[in-house]
């Protein structure tokens, strides 16, 4: 019956003319129309059970840090007017998902949270704001699911907009990165940092023409995955630079080390000091070093001249956070050759960067000017945590840990003691559960009027909850309830018989004995306890 109805509705959807045909006619419709894959779209997934608990723990940990730094929460629509996204993502614009033209405005799904933020600031003439935003973004990319590279994935962004003194908001953003990863128990991370002005200046020094800068920049950006020879070849063969230019770029982009070291090396380079852009970038970094030293986070930062970042809108410092798991495995190339499937590249890639960001001083202004508003420049700097990638790192820890439960249930209400003809006390169990719910206590019971004791204990075990409240057939008539610890170590314990009127007091007392002041399971997981 359900099958027939469904088929009927499906056909009705496909063609409105079929609406009035009988279900006998519907039966004759070709069967192939009804068969479709029961799956989520490619590159997307459902979040459920323990995964959601861990993910929500990550969100809560990071958002409490953002709030700690004075941020408001912002939430923008999942799609924007298509014009808003146009021209912001360079070569990656082809990865934007468009909504079908069904009449009305042309829209596209957001590609990141930065452009919607800049749109919000420009649209509302905001002069300064700190905001965070945790939401999904959309890219029609080749997914690598097990490594956390998805087409629909979460970003978790914090940004500071406003005309402030140089490098203070930038240093605070880096501090938030360090606080964020530390709070999640991720300690072996490194922040690779560079400055767009320094990079652009170096390209000038090496003889790259202005109009070639962005494409040479994107070649340099591949140095974390490809050897120098391959990148040099791309510059010379594909992107029309001379050998000499490529070699001069090579000298610089191989430089990396502590902020202080690399700053000192560059400051002794006469070409660098003679170039206006490089000089300006170095001066800004000198100020920046002073602040990150005060914040005691300089040891996490590696000044890496090969970092370029693909997006068009960056104008100042740029950075990426990497861990050991970010790099591809050593035998990646081999695995790649063996692999027959190009669908899931997860076998031979690392998780990539687990956070990234930078300064983008012109983006808000672009919106303001393109729409005829005069807002003046609103400089911005921000960070984005890659939640899926961070999740996949933490998940590995959680897999060894059975203590994280998908539900929060604390009490299972049971009834037993009667024979076959006994009612099973279902309305009575409901009354007891209702009292516990009203007291804010997570409570379940078996959805059956007559359930045998075994089935009730099994259900309680399955959800892993620590306490049972039992309505005994005779005891309940005397206004008594039984409170009993659950779990194999309490199998022989009959629990405690209490007055029904004391239920909430006793249960709260027992729960505080069980949980005490201990951190919850997810916090323990983050702390590696």
Q: Report the binding-site residues for L-histidine.
A: 112-114, 139, 155, 159, 309, 313-314
Contact 8, 33 (CB under 8 A): no
Smallest distance from a second copy to CB 67, Å: 4
Q: Which residues have CB under 8 Å from 250's CB, separation 6+?
A: 228, 232
Please identify, using beta-carbon distances, which residue of 171 and 223 lies nearer to a second copy.
171
Q: Which is nearer to a second copy, 105 or 493 (CB)?
A: 105
**What does DSSP say about strands 380-386 and 152-161: parallel, antiparallel, or unpaired?**
antiparallel
Q: Which is nearer to a second copy, 3 or 492 (CB)?
A: 3
Contact characters 430-469, a second copy, x per CB under 8 A: xx--x--xx-xxxxx--xxx-------------x------
243-253 vs 196-206: helix axis angle to the nearest 10? 150
Q: Please list every residue from 282 through 321 that binds a second copy, using CB under 8 A.
A: 290-291, 293-296, 312
CB 467 within 8 A of CB 444: no
Query: Based on CB atoms, which residue is closest to a second copy, 104 or 419?
Result: 104
Judged by DSSP in three states, 420 sits in coil
The distance of closest approach from Cβ of residue 474 to a second copy in the complex, given in angstroms and rounded to an integer, is 20
**Angle 212-215-218 from CA coordinates, rounded to 5°:** 145
What is the biggest distance separating any 2 CA atoms in the chain, rounded to whole angstroms?
A: 97
38 in contact with a second copy (CB under 8 A) = yes
- Does 489 participate in binding a second copy (rule CB under 8 A)? no
Is there binding between residue 44 and a second copy (CB under 8 A)? yes
Residue among 15, 28, 32, 35 that touches a second copy (CB under 8 A): 35
Return the residues of window 372-411 that contact a second copy according to CB under 8 A.
372-373, 377, 406-409
Q: Which residue in the set 362, 397, 480, 524 belongs to the binding site for a second copy (CB under 8 A)? A: 362
Pairing of strands 72-73, 129-138: parallel
Residues between 97 and 156 with contacts to a second copy, criterion CB under 8 A: 97-102, 104-105, 107, 109, 119-120, 122-123, 130-131, 136, 138, 140, 152
Q: Which stretch binds a second copy (CB under 8 A): 64-72, 201-209, 495-503, 506-514?
A: 64-72
Of the candidates 284, 278, 286, 248, the one whose C-alpha atom is nearest the C-alpha of residue 358 is 284
Among candidate residues 380, 356, 378, the one with its CA nearest the CA of residue 368 = 378
- Give how many residues touch a second copy by CB under 8 A: 127
**Residues in region 160-179 near a second copy by CB under 8 A:** 160, 162, 164-165, 168-169, 171-172, 175, 179
Question: Applying CB under 8 A, does 216 fall inside the site for a second copy?
Answer: no
Q: What angle do CA 518, 522, 524 make, to 5 degrees?
A: 50
State the DSSP code for 271: H
Q: Does 209 bind a second copy (CB under 8 A)?
A: no
Cβ distance 53 to 382 under 8 Å?
Answer: no
User: Binding residue for a second copy (CB under 8 A) from 323, 365, 384, 392?
Assistant: 365
Half-sphere exposure of 449 (CA within 13 A, CB side): 5
Separation of alpha carbons 161 and 378, rounded Å = 6
According to the binding rule CB under 8 A, does residue 502 interact with a second copy? no
């Amino acid at each position: 019956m359900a099958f027939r109805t469904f088929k009927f509705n499906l056909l009705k959807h496909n063609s409105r003319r079929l609406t009035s045909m009988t279900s006998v006619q519907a039966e004759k419709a070709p069967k192939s129309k009804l068969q479709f894959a029961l799956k989520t779209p490619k590159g997307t997934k459902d979040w459920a059970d323990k995964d959601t608990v861990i993910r929500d723990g990550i969100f809560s940990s990071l958002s409490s840090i953002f709030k700690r730094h004075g941020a408001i929460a912002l939430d923008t629509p999942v799609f924007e007017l298509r014009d808003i996204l146009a021209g912001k993502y360079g070569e990656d614009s082809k990865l934007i998902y468009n909504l079908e033209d069904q009449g009305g405005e042309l829209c596209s799904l957001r590609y990141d949270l930065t452009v919607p933020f800049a749109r919000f600031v420009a649209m509302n003439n905001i002069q300064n704001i700190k905001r965070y935003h945790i939401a999904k973004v959309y890219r029609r990319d080749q997914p690598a699911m097990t490594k956390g590279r998805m087409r629909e994935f979460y970003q978790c962004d914090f940004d500071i907009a406003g005309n402030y003194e140089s490098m203070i908001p930038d240093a605070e953003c880096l501090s938030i990165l360090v606080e964020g990863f530390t709070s999640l128990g991720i300690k072996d991370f490194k922040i690779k940092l560079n400055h767009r002005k320094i990079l652009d200046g170096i390209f000038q020094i090496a003889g790259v023409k202005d109009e070639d800068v962005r494409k040479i920049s994107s070649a340099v950006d591949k140095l974390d995955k490809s050897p120098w020879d391959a990148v040099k070849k791309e510059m010379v063969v594909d992107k029309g630079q001379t050998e000499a230019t490529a070699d001069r770029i090579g000298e610089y982009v191989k430089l990396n080390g502590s902020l202080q070291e690399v700053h000192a090396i560059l400051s002794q380079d006469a070409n660098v000091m003679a170039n206006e852009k490089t000089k300006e970038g170095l001066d800004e970094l000198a100020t920046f070093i002073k602040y990150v030293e005060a914040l005691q986070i300089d040891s996490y930062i590696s000044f890496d001249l090969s970092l370029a970042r693909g997006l068009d809108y960056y104008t100042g410092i740029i950075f990426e956070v990497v861990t050991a798991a970010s790099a591809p495995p050593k035998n990646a190339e081999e695995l790649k050759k063996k692999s027959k499937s190009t669908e899931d590249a997860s076998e031979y890639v690392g998780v990539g960067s687990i956070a990234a960001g930078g300064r983008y001083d012109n983006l808000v202004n672009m919106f303001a000017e393109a729409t005829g508003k005069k807002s003046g420049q609103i400089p911005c700097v921000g960070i984005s945590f890659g939640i899926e990638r961070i999740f996949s790192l933490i998940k590995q820890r959680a897999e060894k840990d059975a203590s994280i439960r998908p539900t929060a249930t604390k009490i299972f209400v049971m009834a037993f003691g009667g024979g076959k003809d006994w009612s099973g006390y279902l309305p009575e169990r409901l009354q007891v559960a209702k009292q516990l719910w009203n007291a804010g206590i997570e409570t379940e019971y078996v959805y059956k009027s007559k359930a045998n004791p075994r089935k009730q204990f099994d259900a309680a075990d399955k959800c892993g909850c620590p306490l049972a409240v039992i309505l005994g057939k005779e005891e309940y008539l005397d206004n008594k309830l039984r409170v009993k610890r659950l779990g194999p170590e309490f199998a022989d314990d009959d629990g405690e018989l209490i007055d029904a009127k004391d239920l909430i007091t006793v249960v709260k007392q027992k729960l505080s004995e069980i949980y005490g002041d201990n951190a919850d399971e997810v916090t323990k997981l983050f702390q590696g306890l």
